[in-house]
Structures are given as C-alpha cells and as structure tokens.
Amino acid sequence: MKFQVRSLFFVGLLFVAPVFAGEGLQYMQNIINNFEQLRGELAEDFSTEKRKDVSARARDLALQILDVKEIGKLALGKHFAKLKPKEQEDFLGLFHELMANRVVEANIPSQKVISGKIPIEIISERAETDEVFDKEAIVVNTRVPHRKQSFKVEFYLYRSEDSLKLYDVHIDDASTLLDFRNQFSSIINKKGYKHLVKLLRERIQKIHQK
C-alpha cells in the first residue's frame, strides 16, 4: 500500500519568537524566507555537491519546526499506547526518518530551478481549539496556486515548551494528520502493527533509492 502523503505538509524553519499577535503569520514568513534562500542557492549552483549540501540543510531546518515525536504519536492514535516502550521508540524513529526525507523531497527540487520564489500567499491567522487532536491551535490560512487553480492550505501550529511547532496541515479542509491516522489504523486493523512497520521501512528504502 502506498502512503499518500501530501507534500505541502513538509515545509520550513521557525526562528523562535516571543508570543505576540500575528506570530503565526511571522512563523510562516520565516519558513518561506528560509526555503526561498535555499532554493535560490540551487538556482545559482545545481551541482551534485550543492544539491547534497542544500538537502542536508533543508532536512535539519525543517525538522526544527516539526515535533516529529508528537506527530507520530498523534498519527498512531490509540495504537501507540498499546506498544511496548521499545516498539514505541522504533516506530518514532521510522516516522522521523520518513518525515525527514519527505521534507527534503517536497522542498528541494530534483530538477534545476530558475529562482527561489515559493508561490504561496499568506492570508490570515486565527486561534482555534482542535478537538480531534486536543490542541489549542494557531491556524495560518494560506493560498497556494497550482496550474490554473489554487488550494486553500491551513497550517496548524501549537506552542511547545518554548516555541511554536507545526503538527498538521489542512488542504481544502482535509487534515493531513488525520489521513495519516486513518491509513495507519486501517493497516493495523487489517494486517497488524508489524505489517505497518514493514511498509514504513519499504517506503523509506524507496526514498533512499531515488
């Protein structure tokens, strides 16, 4: 079974900032600025060595804003608590690797780019109680053009101990994290947890072979 992971879920870097009105908007602008800088470097130099360097930096930067452990727990839902501590650790390790690779895959192009510009319009932010995942969220509303249409994309952030973290993205009102949970739950219910782990390992292996 293929994992249909929406690439818009994987973006960016957050520079930690104090709490203030509009901080979600600033968060998104920081993300865009940092990835535009990396993409701009590739527009100037698309050599193999440069692509590896930029990909490694993109991976490190993006994972600073993604609370991968929290997202992994939320994605596995009720099944996470049923795992033994070692199984939990192994799953979160696999999920971290999958997320890290998808971040690079989504943000660093495999073909030469003309400029670093990222076509995304930041529109507004709002506070919202996310009852599905039990979070007090800051939701940043954006619009992303694609060919002759555009998509409503909302980034769901929550405050960790000292910074904002991205935990979900809604594309045209569909939750990417809930898609993860539904996929994982379906696989576990039909073929068991070990089969899910097998699929995750296979997916990661395929990414590394590209």
Write the pLDDT tens digit of every residue in 100-153.
Answer: 777 777 666 677 767 677 778 899 999 999 999 999 999 999 998 877 788 899
Of 30-34, 179-183, 186-190, which range is least confident?
Answer: 30-34
Residue 129 has a pLDDT of 96
Q: In the chain, what are the domains?
A: 21-209 (3.10.450.710)
Sequence-distant (≥ 6) Cβ neighbours of residue 114 within 8 angstroms: 43
Give mean pLDDT, residues 172-187.
94
Question: Three-class SS of residue 84?
Answer: coil
Give mean pLDDT, residues 90-95.
92
Residue 73 has a pLDDT of 94
CB-based burial label for 134 (10 Å; 0-12, 13-18, 19+) = exposed
Question: Three-class SS of residue 153?
Answer: strand
Give mean pLDDT, residues 2-7.
42
Of 107-111, 160-164, 188-192, which range is least confident?
Answer: 107-111
State the pTM of this model.
0.81
Question: Who has greater pLDDT, 80 or 11?
Answer: 80
Q: What percent of the chain has pLDDT over 90?
A: 40
Q: Is residue 32 scored above 90 in pLDDT?
A: no
Q: Tell me the per-residue pLDDT of 195-209, one tens digit each, with 9 for 90 and over.
A: 999 999 998 888 777
Question: Residue 64's Cα: distance from chain center in Å?
Answer: 11
Sequence-distant (≥ 6) Cβ neighbours of residue 64 within 8 angstroms: 13, 14
Q: Is residue 18 scored above 50 in pLDDT?
A: no
Give mean pLDDT, residues 62-79.
89
pLDDT band at residue 10 under the 50/70/90 scheme: very low
